[in-house]
Amino acid sequence: MSNVKKAEGKLGVLVVGLGAVSSTFMTGVLMTRKGLAKPVGSMTQYDRIRVGEGADKKYLKYNEIVPLADLNDIVFGAWDVYPQNAYESAINCEVLKEKDINPVKDELEKIVPMKAAFDHNYAKRLTGDNVKQCATRWDMVEQLREDIRNFKKENGVDRVVVLWAASTEVYVPVDEKVHNTMADLEAAMKADDREHIAPSMCYAYAALAEGAPFIMGAPNTTVDIPAMWEMAEKTKMPIAGKDFKTGQTLVKSGFAPIIGTRCLGLNGWFSTNILGNRDGLVLDEPANFRTKEVSKLSTLESILVPEEQPDLYAHGNDEDTQYYHKVRINYYPPRNDNKEGWDNIDIFGWMGYPMQIKINFLCRDSILAAPLCLDLVLLSDLAARNGRYGIQRFLSFFLKSPMHDYTKDEVPVNHLFQQYTMLKNAIREMGGYKADEAID
């Protein structure tokens, strides 16, 4: 028997950023509700998990194991720097065809973004003016908290999840003096320390303070700091991040285990992309790309570990201590949201003889991200009803750079199939079944 509180009433989904990913996510959910589209790629809607063993085993969908919120109970809201509503955004982003947007036009038009908590220094390429006037970062938090409270009241919503699907901010390195404790973080917000307090941190703080789980879909530092873990513990709210694992990194975290499992060697892995949407434009700025680069590079490190297998993974870079791993994103407008990724993988086999693998993924960024948004939202809401709080490691499956307690040298799990086991076991446990490590 599941020990999770039932999903009663409406679930507010407040999305930071109303761009390509968010408008595709919202349109898909609304179209699915009308029976006009299928939520392909969503684990919560399609996957079946085995529960029980031997003669008792059965394969159940997630909502047959745990009480997930129903898609019909979702109410969307958003913040954005630009004033376009979700319909205008979906049309402008050109991810979906008009025929797949128009049947839910009325509902999308009602999703009008609230003024963003924004600082131009964190995303220089954005010029929108649908922005809050804030005296300090603390004032920013207060205004966001008020937005969440008003949204709940106006929509008769019982629970809220806040999802960051806004642009990647410039890289904010963790600073122990500011980011280690809640007291220091709050003091910095009150002192309007704009260098160390990114707007995204204000959204996260506001969400947690209002009793809402917070999910970081970009690679931003935001909740990946001890002060936010403390906040999540204090408020008993789940947090998850960072960076949706959608295209190239999904392939990487699924493919690298082939090399590792077969004990093949790796000299280098070069990944490059061309991308032409607004995300690509923002990432064309070196300081914003740095945030993404750190996130994308972390994937291989815990799957192919030079210290564990020096013969296989400790050669290839300039110092010959590790394989060479390079990631590039190139802004190329003609492709818009249809990102093309290339991977060149230099491996070696028996007696060190070199071989190459090439992967060319012609993907659609927002089409891959939308189901992740749905799954992360539904599973964070589930976790909150189950009394789970702090970093939700079982959600690593959906994330490029899974959060982990680096102050205790915890190693994140990046291996896609280990992450899947963690996901299945969390669902099993919440459903009152035993966790296990069997492969099916």
Ligand X SMILES: NC(=O)c1ccc[n+]([C@@H]2O[C@H](COP(=O)([O-])OP(=O)(O)OC[C@H]3O[C@@H](n4cnc5c(N)ncnc54)[C@H](O)[C@@H]3O)[C@@H](O)[C@H]2O)c1
Q: Which residues bind ligand X (CB under 6 A)?
A: 16-22, 79-82, 93, 116-118, 123, 126, 128, 165-168, 199, 217-218, 243-244, 246-247, 277-279, 365-366, 368-369
Q: Please, are residues 405 and 224 in contact by the beta-carbon 8 Å criterion?
A: no
Other beta carbons within 10 angstroms of residue 425's beta carbon come to 17
CB of 244 to ligand X, least distance (A): 4
Residue with tokens 């996957």: 47
Other beta carbons within 10 angstroms of residue 315's beta carbon come to 19
Bridge pairing between strands 265-275 and 340-348: antiparallel
Closest CB to ligand X among residues 49, 379: 379
* Lookup: tokens for 91: 């049309």
Closest CB to ligand X among residues 18, 60: 18
| Distance from chain centroid for Cα 68 | 19
Closest CB to ligand X among residues 244, 313: 244
Residue nearest to ligand X (CB): 19
CB of 82 to ligand X, least distance (A): 5
Closest CB to ligand X among residues 30, 430: 30
Q: Please, are residues 221 and 239 in contact by the beta-carbon 8 Å criterion?
A: no
CB of 430 to ligand X, least distance (A): 26
Closest CB to ligand X among residues 80, 210: 80
CB of 353 to ligand X, least distance (A): 36
* Lookup: tokens for 107: 């509902």
Closest CB to ligand X among residues 278, 393: 278
Closest CB to ligand X among residues 152, 292: 292
Closest CB to ligand X among residues 249, 386: 249
CB of 123 to ligand X, least distance (A): 5
Closest CB to ligand X among residues 112, 305: 112
Closest CB to ligand X among residues 144, 430: 144
- SS3 at position 220: coil
Closest CB to ligand X among residues 77, 431: 77
- SS3 at position 12: strand
Q: How far is CA 261 from CA 324, 371, 415, in A?
A: 20, 29, 11
Residue with tokens 């931003």: 220
Closest by Cα among 78, 336, 280 to 168: 280
Q: Please, are residues 166 and 122 in contact by the beta-carbon 8 Å criterion?
A: no
CB of 79 to ligand X, least distance (A): 4
Segments of 206-353 assigned E as strands: 214-216, 238-240, 265-275, 324-331, 340-348
Q: How far apart, in whole angstroms, are the C-alpha atoms of residue 175 and residue 195?
A: 10
CB of 440 to ligand X, least distance (A): 29
Q: Please, are residues 201 and 250 in contact by the beta-carbon 8 Å criterion?
A: no
CB of 400 to ligand X, least distance (A): 7
Q: How far apart, in whole angstroms, are the C-alpha atoms of residue 108 and residue 105?
A: 5
Region of 83 (left: φ > 0; alpha: ψ -120 to 50; beta: rest) is alpha
Region of 41 (left: φ > 0; alpha: ψ -120 to 50; beta: rest) is left
* Lookup: tokens for 115: 């003024």
CB of 220 to ligand X, least distance (A): 8
CB of 189 to ligand X, least distance (A): 15
Q: Please, are residues 167 and 20 in contact by the beta-carbon 8 Å criterion?
A: no
| Distance from chain centroid for Cα 153 | 27
CB of 272 to ligand X, least distance (A): 16
Q: How far apart, in whole angstroms, are the C-alpha atoms of residue 322 and residue 266?
A: 9
